[in-house]
């Protein structure tokens, strides 16, 4: 990123290749929409280019990138007020070859989990996605959300707890 910042903008291709997939999946979890997620990824990299001078070398590039990603998503979500991020392609996750090889019960559970995740309030879904799928450390999430690490810890737990409650309610049963 430091080379990009110095004006070697061609190096952004390397960063794109490294981060476009996780970023796309992050937006998929937030929007449930493939086309919208791809547009959001484009917008993030465009803003990285535009605001490259504001990047500070001592900060984590991932955290900075997700900070931009979050702003981009919030801007878009603001324009589409009233729309709820539901998985328009709820079956899409369940239609991959990997899943087809599994037991029917596992398939159903995966679909239920995806539904439960999509039904979580945006703030909870977001923090859970960053922690679980993007593998961001708590201090990185704290930088993205501009809050304390302790707050992130509590939020991730509460998000996971609510996801669990919704998941078991959808399945009509509770573990234990």
Partner 1 sequence: MICDRIREQIPECLAGRLDPAAREKVIDHLDTCSACRADMAELGVVWRGLQSMPELEPSPAMRTRFMETLAAYQEGYQEAQRRQVYAAPPKRWWVGLWPAHPAWQAAFSAVLLLAGVMGGRYLAEPRPVNTINPELAQMRGQIENLRQLVTLSMLQQDSPSARLRGVTYSYQVTQPDQQVEQALLHAVNHDSNVNVRLSAVDALAKFGNNPEVRRAMIDSLPVQDSPLVQIALVDLLVQFNAKDALPALRKLAEDKEANESVRQRAASSVQKLEASH
> Which parts of this chain interact with partner 1 (CB under 8 A)?
9-10, 12-13, 16-17, 20-21, 24-25, 28, 34, 37-38, 41-42, 45-46, 49-50, 92-93, 96, 98-99, 106, 109-110, 113-114, 117, 131-133, 137-138, 153-154, 156-157, 160-161, 163-164, 167-168, 174-176
CA distance linking residue 110 with residue 56, whole number of Å: 40
- The residue among 13 and 59 lying less far from partner 1, judged by its C-beta, is 13
In the complex with partner 1, which residue's Cβ is closer, 64 or 138? Answer: 138
Structure tokens at 139: 């201090």
For 20, 21, 24, 54, 117, the CA distances from 17, given in Å and listed in that order, are 6, 8, 12, 22, 27
Cβ 70 vs Cβ 136: under 8 Å: no
In angstroms, what is the minimal distance from the CB of 54 to partner 1?
Answer: 13
Q: From the CB of 65, what's the least distance to partner 1, in Å?
A: 14
- Cα gap 32→51, rounded to integer Å: 27
Closer residue to partner 1, CB minimum distance, 64 or 127: 127
Integer Cα distance of 164 and 169 in angstroms: 8
Which residue in this structure is represented by tokens 């984590």? 60
How far apart are CB 160 and partner 1 at their closest, in Å?
Answer: 5
Minimum CB–partner distance for residue 146 and partner 1 (Å): 20
Q: Which is nearer to partner 1, 72 or 117 (CB)?
A: 117
Decide whether 5 or 34 has the Cβ nearer to partner 1: 34
- Report the candidate in 94, 92, 118, 115 with the shortest Cα–Cα distance to residue 106: 94
Compare residues 67 and 136 and give the one whose CB is closer to partner 1: 136
User: In angstroms, what is the minimal distance from the CB of 108 to partner 1?
Assistant: 11
C-alpha to C-alpha distance for 105 and 16, rounded to whole angstroms: 37
| Contacts of 118 by beta carbon, 8 Å cutoff, 6+ apart | 32, 85, 86, 87, 90, 125
Residue 16 CB, shortest distance to partner 1, in Å, is 6
């Amino acid at each position: 990123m430091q080379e990009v910042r110095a004006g070697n903008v061609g190096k952004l291709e390397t960063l794109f290749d490294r981060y476009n997939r996780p970023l796309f999946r992050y937006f998929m979890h937030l929007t449930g929409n493939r086309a919208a997620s791809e547009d959001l990824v484009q917008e993030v990299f465009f803003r990285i280019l535009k605001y490259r001078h504001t990047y500070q070398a001592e900060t984590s590039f991932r955290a900075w990138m997700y900070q931009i990603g979050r702003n981009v998503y919030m801007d878009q979500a603001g324009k589409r007020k009233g729309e709820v991020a539901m998985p328009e392609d709820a079956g899409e996750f369940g239609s991959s070859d990997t899943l087809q090889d599994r037991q029917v019960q596992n398939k159903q559970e995966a679909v239920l989990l995806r539904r439960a995740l999509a039904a979580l309030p945006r703030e909870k879904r977001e923090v859970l996605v960053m922690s679980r799928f993007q593998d961001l450390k708590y201090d990185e999430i704290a930088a993205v959300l501009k809050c304390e690490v302790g707050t992130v810890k509590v939020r991730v737990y509460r998000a996971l707890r609510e996801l669990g409650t919704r998941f078991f309610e959808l399945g009509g049963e509770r573990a234990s």
